[in-house]
Amino acid sequence: MINNKPLVYYCFALLIGSYSALLLLNNKNILGAVLAASFLLITMLSNKSPLVYILPIFLLIGFFRYYSYYRIQVPEVCNLRFQGTEGIYSIANYKGRKVILKGDLKQCKIGQYIQVTGEYKSMAQFDRGIIGEINISSVNKKESDYFTKIYEFKESLYKRYKEEIGEEAAGEVMAAAFGHDNYLSSESKTDMSNLGVIHVVSVSGLHMALIYKISELILGFGGSIIVALVYCIFTGGYSSTVRALIMIIVFKLSKKVYRNYEAFSSLSMAAIIVLFINPANALDLATLLSFLSVLGIFIFYKKFLKVLYRLPVKLNESISLTLSAQVFSLPLSIVVFNSISTASIQGNIFLVPIYSLLMVLGNLSLLFLNINFLFKKLCLGIKISYSAIEGCKCFLLKVSTGVIYMSMSEVWVLIIIYASYFLYKRGYKKFLWLPLFSLVFYGLYNFSFTPQFQFVKLGSSRGIIYRSAFNSVLFLDKEKVNENELLVKKKFNVRKVEDFDKGHYCHGDKELKLSQDNSKIHLTYFYGKRPLVIVFTKENMAAKTDNLYDIIYLPYNKESYQYYDQLYRISLVFHRPIIE
């Protein structure tokens, strides 16, 4: 098997090496070793080709690249590339790695090369590729280069669009044409997410394919590759863009040298290069969704075409492309976002073509930026396209049923049913009973064998979850939390959300009393002779015991960069608290 598609195996080896390093970094050494050894054992026993002996090399490369990415030490005085802000934190690049910056950076421009003095603290965020944070005491030097000029040019381009077509339309065209979504309003992002078309504002294979196709008609193969490469750099060199560029080059070169184009090998080669460029892409959500979408298209696009053959050709192609792209990417999206858009198909059928037109007009207007007459005409076309997009959005949002929110347990039940269907269709009839197992899993997942208290984070707010048997309640300050209550329930997998002001909660013969002030949250749990008191406090205090209470003091502001996060879990085992 490896003789037919060796690159697919090498890609998997690189990924397994990266994930083994991830497990090691999370102190799961045995699990990481088992993962790597199992992969090598299975592939070597099932393949007799000498090519399998190259697999350990790729696995080790993946392992050491990923491990060294997060184990690097940043000196007190270091040079960084300032990348602006992500959420409420400033981000910079240190030797190809992301770091969080804390300090006064108001005078720094995006893209600038800065030298700072500060204290580095390792604090890995694997899903975002962040290795730690630097508390900056001083910015010693700032230098501008061609990266800074690119960002400055984008800023001036946005201002020019803003003058011609207005702020909202300018933000939309900057996002759709150049992947620069800083100017896009949060309301617009929410609407696009609800309609399942948020991918159009991140430069992807769609953008690269359109740019290359138009360039090839005018400039031919060589010129279009150069244009595509420049576009890739100008838009930020995202992994999805690099992936599309590599696959286009491989496809075109295969025609030049009279070789057959093998889609899976091309996709695997792109994945290998993307992982070599940045090992953190092994866990980057945008990268994973991009590759999974393309994989789904390769495998299922033609099958959907056959199933939907009664539809008009263009409609069939559009729906088949949308459905096939979501076969593998949708489960991952649901796991991460705990939601699924019910208007995804409609959004991709009606909105994506208009966004494609907006993207083409945006790039054409860039070419004619200095020819005022043509630029104004193109801006008029952009404004009309934007109006069509807004009208289409408004209509689709009114007729759609919105977003379905799902808890983690519900997501896994759906994935198990999803997997059992495909296995059954493949001829594995025994897997027809797998959904019954998912019901057992769902019950066990939502059942707490011992009373538990979880101290959780919702942005800048804090909450406490109480779990016992099938009962689960989240207590928080509802005035400070403006989130959708159903989403909060699904994120934390709870049945009810109560306000701290309620102060008192009973569950059978168990009783909870809660109170809070500016620096503390008090929780008193009554069950048995000795009540347990848990105090989440901003003061530094140790746990203590007296004749009446067991009192545990835990830091209120435990460091976490996740918007939704569990900071502590206290389980009561035979009335003894165990802190995790």
Which tokens go with 554? 């835990």
Mean pLDDT, to the nearest integer, of 420-428? 80
3-state secondary structure of 464: strand
For the chain, helix, strand, coil in percent to 5 are: 55, 25, 20
Cα distances (angstroms) measured from residue 221 to each of 228, 248, 260, 373:
11, 10, 18, 31
Q: Per-residue confidence at 338, pLDDT binned at 50, 70, 90? A: confident
What is the pLDDT at residue 63? Answer: 94
| pLDDT at site 547 | 47
In this prediction, residue 422 has a pLDDT band, given cuts at 50, 70 and 90, of: confident
pLDDT higher than threshold 70 for residue 424: yes
Does residue 396 contact residue 388 with C-beta atoms inside 8 Å? no
Report whether pLDDT(549) > 60: no
Of the two residues 544 and 316, the one the predictor is more confident about is 316
More confident residue, 385 or 103: 385
Is residue 403 within 8 Å of residue 372, measured between CB atoms?
no
Select from 83, 202, 227, 208 the least CA-distant residue to 147. Answer: 83
pLDDT exceeds 90 at position 20: yes
How many CB atoms sit inside 10 A of residue 533's CB?
16
pLDDT at 557: 63
Residue 16 has pLDDT above 90, yes or no: yes
Return the ∠ at Cα 142 (arms to 140 and 144), rounded to 5°: 165
Q: What is the pLDDT of residues 449-485, one digit of tens each?
A: 888 888 887 777 778 888 888 888 888 877 777 777 7
Percent pLDDT > 70 in the chain is 91
Per-residue pLDDT of 475-524, as tens digits, reads 887 777 777 778 888 888 888 888 877 777 787 777 778 777 766 777 77
Q: Which secondary-structure segment (H or E) carries 525? A: strand 520-526
Residue 1, token pair as written in the block:
């098997």
* pLDDT single digits (tens) 46-74: 888 888 888 899 999 999 999 999 999 88
Amino acid at 411: V
Checking if the pLDDT of 202 tops 90, the result is no
| Contact between residue 294 and residue 328 where contact means Cβ atoms under 8 Å apart | no
pLDDT band at residue 410 using 50, 70 and 90 as cut-offs: confident
Tell me how far apart the alpha carbons of residues 111 and 95 are, in angstroms, rounded to a whole number: 14
Instruction: Map residue 427 onto helix, strand or coil.
Output: coil
pLDDT for the residue 110: 83
pTM of the model: 0.82
Structure-block tokens of residue 495 = 């049945």
Closest by Cα among 337, 315, 299, 306 to 196: 337
pLDDT, mean of residues 270-297: 88
Considering only residues 550 and 93, tell me which one the structure prediction assigns the higher pLDDT.
Answer: 93
The residue ranking higher by pLDDT, 377 or 524, is 377
213 to each of 218, 223, 353, 401, 532, how far by Cα in Å? Answer: 9, 11, 16, 36, 68
Mean pLDDT of 18-24: 92
> Is the confidence at residue 144, as pLDDT, over 60?
yes
Which of the four pLDDT bands, split at 50, 70 and 90, describes residue 1? low
Domains of the chain: 6-71 (no CATH), 77-144 (2.40.50), 151-281+340-397 (no CATH), 283-339 (no CATH), 408-442 (no CATH), 447-579 (no CATH)
How do residues 207-220 score in pLDDT, each as one tens digit? 777 788 888 888 88
Mean pLDDT of all residues in 76-96 = 83
Amino acid at 355: Y
